[in-house]
């Protein structure tokens, strides 16, 4: 175990973990919203994120984006990528709810059926995008001839540069953008849920669906809203992932989705602020663990920490449900 490296560069590893965990937290919001209202684990949400990365790739390819464009063009491409990812991921999440989950709810299907359906939808989306994956030449034209599921690179919109250095800790512009943007979007979502009329409807349905219906809250609209909101947060995470890591793949959502779900459980699933805490905590623990051991132990450490936390705190670090959130 490399304690000297961890202690000697603790600040650097913490900054790296925070920027990574911010992406986990954004994806985790989708799991938290759906579980808070429906008590459903939407395992297809990981592929909602994957769709967002391909939406970003598609827009940038359509505009012929090259590496390191001028700052004005870079901002424009980022905005276009965010819009495309939010629309694609939000639309995918809504389609999943309308096509798959709504008929099951009307038939009062048991929870196990929802879980199996979610896993099935996840596999379908992975395979569909595996068939539509751009070829190795990098063209945006889809192929239906079963090309290999290779990793697809993305252009560098903003060159990573060091903004400032404190001691031996360097903070880059990409890390600041990812962290600040993720926290800002989560704060906006938290304000929406706790301070707006639609947010009160979401909390009412999460706390007591029958009473909410008697008070005139349209449950179907609330359910559609939470899927769209969760999908849009996953789309925003897809853009930040594209900026920070610069690649995508049809199976990219699998491990990321599991880690985001882990973050939601760590913070207290059904708790928006818990998703933020869990995501940041998981990102830091992963980086610390990879430094102590090797990067190949990163995933193992993340899930071991989940098990340990839940042994002592089964409801997660914060443990407050969406329906009980205070305004």
What is this structure's pTM? Answer: 0.90
Can you tell me the distance from the alpha carbon of 54 to that of 88, in angstroms, rounded to the nearest whole number? 9
At residue 148, does pLDDT exceed 80? no
Measured from the Cβ of residue 49, the count of other Cβ atoms closer than 10 Å reads 30
Q: Mean pLDDT across the stretch 264-270? A: 89
Q: What percent of the chain has pLDDT over 70?
A: 92
User: H or E segment at 248?
Assistant: strand 247-248
Chain-centroid distance of CA 216 in Å reads: 32
Reported confidence tier of residue 4, pLDDT bands at 50, 70, 90: confident
Q: Mean pLDDT across the stretch 162-173? A: 91
pLDDT at 141: 46
pLDDT at 323: 56
Residue 293, class by beta-carbon neighbours within 10 Å (0-12 exposed, 13-18 middle, 19+ buried)? middle
Distances (CA, A) of 74 to 27, 68, 138, 243, 244: 24, 8, 20, 11, 14
pLDDT digits (tens, 9 = 90+) for 22-77: 999 999 999 999 999 988 899 999 999 999 999 999 999 899 888 989 999 999 99
Q: Provide the token pair at 228.
A: 């769209």
Reported confidence tier of residue 150, pLDDT bands at 50, 70, 90: confident
HEC readout, 106-172: HCCCCHHHHHHHHHHHHHHHHHHHHHCCCCCCCCCCCCCCCCCCCCEECCCCCCCCEEEEECCEEEE
Distances (CA, A) of 115 to 35, 43, 100: 12, 7, 11
pLDDT at 134: 52
Which residues fall within 8 angstroms of residue 232, CB to CB, at 6 or more apart? Answer: 86, 89, 90
Q: Provide the token pair at 72.
A: 């004005």
Reported confidence tier of residue 137, pLDDT bands at 50, 70, 90: very low
pLDDT digits (tens, 9 = 90+) for 295-316: 888 888 888 888 888 888 888 8
Sign of the C-alpha dihedral, residues 230, 231, 235, 238? positive
pLDDT mean across residues, the chain:
88
pLDDT digits (tens, 9 = 90+) for 223-254: 999 999 999 999 999 999 999 999 998 899 99
């Amino acid at each position: 175990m490399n304690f000297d490296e961890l202690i000697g560069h603790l600040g650097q590893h913490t900054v790296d973990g925070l920027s990574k965990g911010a992406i986990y937290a954004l994806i985790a919001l989708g799991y938290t919203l759906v579980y808070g209202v429906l008590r459903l684990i939407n395992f297809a949400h990981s592929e909602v994120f994957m769709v967002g990365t391909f939406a970003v790739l598609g827009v940038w390819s359509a505009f012929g984006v090259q590496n390191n464009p001028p700052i004005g063009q870079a901002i424009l491409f980022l905005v276009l990528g965010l819009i495309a990812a939010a629309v694609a991921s939000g639309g995918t999440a809504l389609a999943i709810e309308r096509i798959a989950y709504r008929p099951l709810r009307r038939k009062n299907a048991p929870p196990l059926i929802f879980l199996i359906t979610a896993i099935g939808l996840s596999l379908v989306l992975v395979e569909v995008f595996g068939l539509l994956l751009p070829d190795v030449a990098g063209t945006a034209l889809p192929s239906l001839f079963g090309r290999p599921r290779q990793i697809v690179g993305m252009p560098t919109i903003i060159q990573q540069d060091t903004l400032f250095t404190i001691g031996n800790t360097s903070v880059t512009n990409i890390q600041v953008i990812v962290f600040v943007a993720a926290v800002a979007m989560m704060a906006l979502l938290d304000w929406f849920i706790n301070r707006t009329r639609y947010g009160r409807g979401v909390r009412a349905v999460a706390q007591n669906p029958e009473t909410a219906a008697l008070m005139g809250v349209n449950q179907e609209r609330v359910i559609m809203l939470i899927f769209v909101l969760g999908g849009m947060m996953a789309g925003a995470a897809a853009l930040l992932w594209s900026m920070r890591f610069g690649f995508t793949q049809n199976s990219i959502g699998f491990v990321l989705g599991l880690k985001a779900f882990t973050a939601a459980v760590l913070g207290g699933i059904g708790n928006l602020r818990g998703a933020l805490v869990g995501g940041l905590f998981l990102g830091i623990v992963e980086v610390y663990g990879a430094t102590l051991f090797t990067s190949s132990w990163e995933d193992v450490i993340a899930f071991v920490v989940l098990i340990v936390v839940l042994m002592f705190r089964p409801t997660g670090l914060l443990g407050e449900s969406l329906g009980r959130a205070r305004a």
